[in-house]
Structure 1
Amino acid sequence: MTPAALSTTDFADRAKSVVPAEVWDFVEGGSGAEVTLAANIEAFDLIRVVPRVFSGVASPVTNATLLGTDVSAPLAVAPMAYQRLLHPEGELASARAAKSAGVPFTVSTFSSVSVEDVAATGALTWFQLYWFADRAVTADLVARAEDAGCRTLVLTADLPRMGKRLRDIRNGFTLPADVTAANLPETGRSSVVARHTDLLVDPALCWDDLAWLRARTRLRLVVKGVLDPADAKTAAGAGVDAIVVSNHGGRQLDGAVASAEALQDVLDAVAGRCDVLLDSGVRSGLDVLKAVALGADGVLLGRPVLWGLAADGQRGVADVLALVRDELADAMTLSGCRDVAAIRGLRCLVRSGGRR
């Protein structure tokens, strides 16, 4: 009998044992020497929580609100491409698990299941949008997301071209014939992920394009991939509903600042004009608590979801989400937080004794 998973890294171990090595590298790898990939984890390790005592917390409430919607915990599933690489049901399995867990599921533009089919699961669906050189393709994706019932558009801002992911290059990684970008026209498909992305995505994305999108859609609009406070201030002024502080999981500019390190400056720049979420490096419920304690409204959970999917399909994703929520509840009890609002009152020591 397989022992119960006690942490998300247990799911990682199981996933690594069942997927091909080149698929594992595609999921786990970062760009360049993977300095930023490692820094994302280290940044969370360097955050120390100052717990409160005599708080009388027996049963903490993890429920929160993200972008105007009640959720079971301050987290959503991050957009991640080509999930059928890891399980035949791919994004369908992940979305169903997210629905059961009561958290949003973000469909990638490069999903291996169409946005319509994912939304049909009944999950609270967000749609992640890449900006295409052919604006008609972008406009069509926005319309399809709206028609499918997605609640939110998440525009990825940090991919003018794909970062050099050395593991994939060394492996000569290509998509198998039965895994495609289901949201894109047949003529736009390619077996080589980097070539596919670089051919289609427009590197000239600018603030005028964001204004065009804001005026075009009735959906809530999120910009993902913001690290500089000046960019955060401009995005907030452009009327976005939220910013995701993110370095694309360490898969774009290697040497970029860790997301958790960039969070405070972005929060200061935004000054409450829009929500601020965080992704890149979130691996546990304790990480969720740390991000919220530092001021984030919530987090996006990425690779651990894929580990669960590879390990056991929908049940695996559900188990990962349940584990992270349970870890959050445990951390709340041990730090004296009755609810998510109380987490925001926690003090943290960051890096070499710096205080928030």
Structure 2
Amino acid sequence: MSLADKVLAVNNDLPIRTDKPVHSGKVRSVYWLTEADSRRLIEEKGYPVAADAPLAVMVISDRISAFDCIWTGEGGLLGVPGKGAALNAISNHWFKLFKEQGLAESHILDIPHPGVWIVQKASPVKIEAIVRQYITGSMWRAYSKGEREFCGIEIPGGLQKDQKLPELLVTPSTKGILKGIPGVPEADDVNITRKNIEDNFAAFNFRSKGDIDLYEKLLKEGFEVISAELAKLDQIFVDTKFEFGYVTDADGNEKLIYMDEVGTPDSSRIWDGEAYRNGKIVENSKEGFRQALLNYFPDPDILLNKDRMDEREALARDNVLPESMLMDLSRTYVGIAEKIIGEKLAISDNPKTEIIQVLRDEYGLID
């Protein structure tokens, strides 16, 4: 079996029974179950949700997205072996810890396969919540050019690149294009302030002003839980992205939950502690791949400059990367996942066949 066979690159063509279009993002595909299948599974599996809650099957791919483009490698390698399983395993680990420590639940109800979640439909809060503990990346680039205010928060002068910040910083941005909010440009991924959120909480899909405090509390507590656990492994949790949504529980009560993925090397920067103490940055996250891309192409500005998106898309489409670049990333993902979960990661030889079999035989979702 070739390396390429182990990669689940296309995840929106599974024969899962659905009466709605399959929603495919950069990495995950979502199959909304029929009302009959949702009700049947809730009853059969005893999921703790309302009897009529809409459910979905979420299938993670091994595709690799960086700088808003999908990248491929030599030898028909259309993704990174083990990437999907690693991201799911890490998220599962943190979500379980959040629940055990009384923070909040997640949208995941069941894990039929390392690459699959069964989730409850959530109504998402339209904010990408970025939490930062160190100054690096885009924030450092802006700071080094003299910016001192980030999302309405003043940062002191005199900080060095990759230094720990005086306190945990929440720098939210918009998720999707939001229209008609005073002072917020109508574009995806625009930085916003807490005041923007407070003044227009309903536009960001918060149910009440009080839920903004809850969201910030869950953000910071979630960050601190992951940071403390990673510190035990001598890993530094640098920054991350959280997403939230509302679900209805079995009693019909709405509650704010964590959704999407959490604390993964795809949505976070994770640094090796020993290397950092010795003045070096060793990335145990996707950031290492981003840096490799910037070094690989002669004109890195194409990858950094949003005005050159057409060129960037052509670059990703027309260049297959050396296999070694994708395998380096595979080792990073699998390595950090195994550190976090404390055991060997289960990686499929043929993920698509396995997923179809389990969803047909144990869940009755494939005819």
Q: What band does the TM-score fall into relative to the shorter chain?
A: under 0.3
Q: TM-score, normalised by structure 1?
A: 0.28
* Structure with max Cα Rg: 2
Q: TM-score, normalised by structure 2?
A: 0.27
| Larger RCO, structure (CA 8 Å, separation 6 or more) | 1
**Greater fraction strand:** 2
